[in-house]
């Protein structure tokens, strides 16, 4: 009889431990990251309206290792002749790990001459950043860049 | 109540007709993201520049939408084709009635 209860207690302990691990896994890890990824996908979906996005034409340059996420130089260029009937209409930058995935959108015209944009952005976390370009014929092209951020933006207190 | 701040444009003042010129536009602005908290746990409201436009002799040649992900003192570098002599006007619009305008003249030969 005594043995029985002991066995049950041990069993219960094992179960509790299992739950504990599970709870820990939920808190610490990827769930929040997945949610952000979904946000980014949704943002991309909103831009393209479900259209096919092909890899290529776009070049996105960010430093692979960033010390401070508050000011990261981001360079995006799209390979296009920029003539009246073949030019880049818009470029969107989407960051998977930011609280708001959209970073910026630029609207270009044939009078832009080239599709080269440089700006400074905030990155909340080590993550993949996407650049999506829409051409004048309606097609979408994308490129991505991965970066490692040591000191994150947005989280510090004032 | 309109807010404004210092802005600066760097671009060539003369150019050959048809050449591509690079324009660097920077505005002094905190770009408060709206995701930060004070030490007492209060959310700091968002205060950012929302749009930037560039017109060339009153024709819009470039426009950008900014979100919270743009760093403080937003700098944007872009290009345009020098088609004729005239004025380029740059406008920044933001939260809380923020507005800043800057003009540059260009001589195209």
Domain count, chain A: 1
Whether A158 is covered by a domain: the verdict is: no
CB contact (8 A) between residue B67 and residue A99: no
Nearest alpha carbon to residue A112 among A141, A89, A135, A85:
A89
**pTM score of the predicted model:** 0.81
> If residue A4 lies in a helix (H) or strand (E), which one and from where to where?
helix A2-28
> Cβ contacts (< 8 Å) between B68 and chain A: which residues?
98-100, 122
Q: What is the domain-level CATH number for residue A81? A: 2.60.40.2470
3-state secondary structure of A151: strand
What is residue A17's predicted lDDT score, i.e. its pLDDT? 67
Sign of CA pseudo-dihedral A112, A115, A116, A120: positive
Residue A12 — pLDDT band, cuts 50, 70, 90? low
d(CA B59, CA A86) in angstroms, rounded, equals 20
Residue B83's closest chain A neighbor by CA? A111
d(CA A132, CA A134) in angstroms, rounded, equals 7
> Cβ contacts (< 8 Å) between B66 and chain A: which residues?
104
Residue A118's closest chain B neighbor by CA? B77
Using one digit for the tens of pLDDT, what is the confidence trace for B58-100? 999 999 999 999 999 999 999 999 999 999 999 999 999 999 9
Residue A142 CA to its chain's centroid (Å): 13
Q: Is the pLDDT of residue A2 over 70?
A: no
> Cβ contacts (< 8 Å) between A40 and chain B: which residues?
none
Domains and CATH numbers, chain B: 7-36+45-108 (2.60.40.10)
Using one digit for the tens of pLDDT, what is the confidence trace for A99-131? 899 999 999 999 999 999 999 999 988 999 999
Residue-range definition of the domain harbouring residue A101: 2-151
Size of interface A-B (CB pairs under 8 A): 106
């Amino acid at each position: 009889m005594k043995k029985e209860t002991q066995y049950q207690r041990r069993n219960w302990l094992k179960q509790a431990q299992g739950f504990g691990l599970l709870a820990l896994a939920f808190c610490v890890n990827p769930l929040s990251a997945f949610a952000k990824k979904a946000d980014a996908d949704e943002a991309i979906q909103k831009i393209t309206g479900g259209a096919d996005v092909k890899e290529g034409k776009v070049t996105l340059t960010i430093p692979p290792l960033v010390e401070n996420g508050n000011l990261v130089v981001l360079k995006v260029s799209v390979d296009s002749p920029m003539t009246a009937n073949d030019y880049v209409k818009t470029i969107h930058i989407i960051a998977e790990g930011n609280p708001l995935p959209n970073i910026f959108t630029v609207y270009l015209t044939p009078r832009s001459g080239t599709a080269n944009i440089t700006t400074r952005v905030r990155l909340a976390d080590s993550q993949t950043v996407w650049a999506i370009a829409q051409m004048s014929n309606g097609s979408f092209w994308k490129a991505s860049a991965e970066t490692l951020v040591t000191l994150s933006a947005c989280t510090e207190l004032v | 109540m309109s807010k404004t701040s210092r802005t600066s444009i760097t671009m060539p003042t003369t150019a050959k007709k048809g050449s591509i010129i690079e324009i660097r536009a920077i505005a002094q602005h905190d770009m408060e993201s709206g995701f930060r908290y004070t030490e007492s746990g209060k959310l700091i409201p968002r205060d950012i520049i929302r749009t930037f436009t560039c017109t060339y002799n009153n024709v819009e040649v470039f426009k950008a939408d900014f979100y919270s992900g743009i760093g403080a003192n937003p700098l944007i570098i872009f290009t345009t084709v020098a088609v004729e002599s005239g004025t380029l006007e740059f406008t920044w619009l933001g939260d809380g009635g923020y507005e800043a305008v800057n003009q540059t003249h260009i001589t195209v030969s």
